[in-house]
Chain A
Amino acid sequence: MMNKHSSHYGREIRVAWAIAVKDMRTYYTKPPSLMFGILFPFSLFLSFSIGTKAPPAEQIPILISQTVFFASSSIGPVVIPTERANQTFDRFLTSPVSLFSILIGKTLAGIIYGVGISAIPVLVGIVFFGSQLVDLAALSVCFLLSSLAFSALGIMFASIPGQTPGQVMMPLNFVRIPLLFISGVYTPIRDLPILMQAVSMLSPLTHTVELARYASGGETFFGPILNITILAIYAAAFLFMGVHFHIMNQRKE
């Protein structure tokens, strides 16, 4: 029985990984992935940084947060509607693998995309702007939890029945863009009114920004333990809701 279970889980992990690798090869360079995952956060950052007097090294954590946020959450909304339109998503549904593992594979593709893109500003900051990396563990946790949470957010939104990435990106951007303004990206949390600080605490992006600042030797408002806890809760919640919504979709099929 033990062997049967372990072989079942081993098989699910192998298939999830195969799906992630296929998605990486197939969708990372698709125009919607490049536009919403790379161009969008970099453009937003550039328009912000032009008007600020903060030194570039202090701005790098903001860029890291934006890239991990946008890149990770863009893969699900690109991949799943496209696969619905091509009926390749049905291929997974008729394969001997659980829906949970299919979605884990898609989430993994988002995580790797987010981490890969976000590593660029880290390297650029260190090499060209003298950014400091004082806590590699904090940065690693920031990357892993944030990319997991945001990738799962994208997968959750991709449960919206649609056959083009735009049909999912539009409602997703109604959530993503307002989050930028309440998460201490452009205005430090300490400068916000108390009510807004409470709202800010509820945003997962706040905790990504805080952890990225903390890893670069900056100060955090809520503290790294709370940052990690809230990100972990969001990651689990988005994953759970994403799987649940996709199961509901399959029941309606």
Chain B
Amino acid sequence: MPQESAIEVSNLTKYYGDLCAVDHINFEVEKGEIFGFLGPNGAGKTTTIRMLTGISMPTEGTATIMGCNIQRHPIEAKEQMGIVPDVSNVYNELSAWDNLIFTGKLYDMSKMGRESRADELLKMFGLYERRKEKVQGFSRGMKRRICIAMALMNRSGILFLDEPTSGLDVQSVLIIRDLIRKLNHNGLTIFLTTHNIDEASQMCDRVAIINQGKIVAIDTPEKLKRTLESLQSIEVAFEAAPPNASKELEKLPEVSEVLKEGDKLRLFTRDVPTVLDSLWKYSQYNNLKLITVNTVGPSLEDVFVKLTGIKPATAEGESGKSGPSKVQEMVHGRKKQ
């Protein structure tokens, strides 16, 4: 008997007037999986998550959560999920304890059930000692932890996380990532929306890349990277590189592009051995001393840029809340060449 999917999305579409924000997308998330949902700003990520969690109604198509259709049986579907939005929507006027207890009441948990769960979660998140304090005095990272704890109150099977580590300090990011892994290890299905491609690459079993409302790729991070062989590269640094090294190296056979990255040069190629051989000859011929040679496979970031076709103009227009993303920085870097 085939295993039931945790999330099943079929032809999901959302129009705002004439604008198609999400265009007939289809995907499945298996139980127990960490599923990453990537895309540039305005690609349709948040609209999709809002439809999956019942905040917004699709124009067309269906979404089922643990077998419950979110449109036809919203109560049953919502019982199966916990949601952490991109903003920590906690009640600042209430204490950490009261925030969790109120969430328990929204899920109609028994008094004993919600108190013991709140106790357990506050201890798990390292906030038990501060449970009686109003949340308004908490740091951003602590509020984020409270928000995640609230999403876990009802012991749901699926956790939706929208940019869970965005804008947090390194320590909070590490705590939250570790926690997500532990929760997943205990069987929780995670739907993770993120701008952070490294995070998706490190954490997700599979990722979907959405662009202009359409899914452009769904696969494991490694398989996605392998599909773009043309993005293999060799990173090289000379002890004293001649000023025209970029131009010279671009003329080597099988080199498609050369980028200067700090004191290093990055040679893109489909044929790494041939280029390595040429590179060695080039350095010998010009009497250059190689101090670094690394072969680099395409990163998920490369795949993302390739598939979404992000251009510098777009990146500038979408500098976002917290400054340019890594993708944008990389694209800007390329432009400088």
List 4 A-B pairs, minimum CB-CB distance, nearest first.
A18-B105, A253-B56, A87-B89, A96-B78
Q: Is the interface of A mostly helix, strand, loop or mixed?
A: helix
Contact indicator B108/A15 (Cβ below 8 Å)? yes
Asked if B106 and A93 make an inter-chain contact with CB atoms under 8 angstroms apart, the answer reads no
Chain A residues, Cβ within 8 Å of B76:
96
Q: Does B93 contact A (CB under 8 A)?
A: yes
Task: Determine the chain A residues whose CB is within 8 A of the CB of B150 once the complex forms.
Answer: 91
User: How far, in whole Å, are A92 and B85 apart by their CA atoms in the complex?
Assistant: 13
Any A CB within 8 A of the CB of B100: no
Closest chain B residue to A90 by CB distance?
B55
Interface centre among B50, B76, B106, by most A CB within 10 Å? B106
CB interface residues, A 90-112, toward B, < 8 Å = 90-98
Point out the residue from A15, A96, A98, A250 that lies within 8 Å of B57, measured CB to CB.
A250
Q: A18 contacts B102, CB within 8 Å? A: yes
- Tell me if B87 and A96 are in contact (CB < 8 A): no
Contacts of A25 in B (CB 8 A): 93-94
Q: Which of A20-66 contact B (CB under 8 A)?
A: 22, 25-26
With A18-B106, A251-B57 in contact, do A88 and B89 touch (Cβ < 8 Å)?
yes
What are 15 A-B pairs at a CB distance below 8 A? A14-B108, A15-B106, A19-B106, A22-B102, A26-B93, A26-B94, A86-B89, A87-B89, A88-B89, A91-B89, A96-B74, A96-B106, A96-B107, A96-B108, A250-B57
B50–A11 touching, CB < 8 Å: no
Interface size class of B (residues with CB under 8 A): 20 to 34
CA distance A96 to B68 in the complex (A): 13
Whether B54 sits at the interface, judged by CB under 8 Å, is yes
A15 to B50, CA, bound (A): 22
Chain A positions 229 through 253: 1 when the CB is less than 8 Å from some CB of chain B, otherwise 0: 0000000000000000000001101
Asked whether B163 is an interface residue with its Cβ less than 8 Å from the other chain, the reply is no
What is the 8 Å Cβ interface bit string for chain B, positions 76-119, against chain A (1 contact, 0 not)?
A: 10110101010101111110000000110111100000000000
Partner of A94, one of B83, B92, B94, B108: B83
Q: Is the CB–CB distance between B75 and A98 below 8 Å?
A: yes
Closest Cβ neighbor of A86 among chain B residues:
B89
- Known contacts being A15-B105, A15-B106, A22-B102, is A93 close to B91, with CB within 8 Å? no
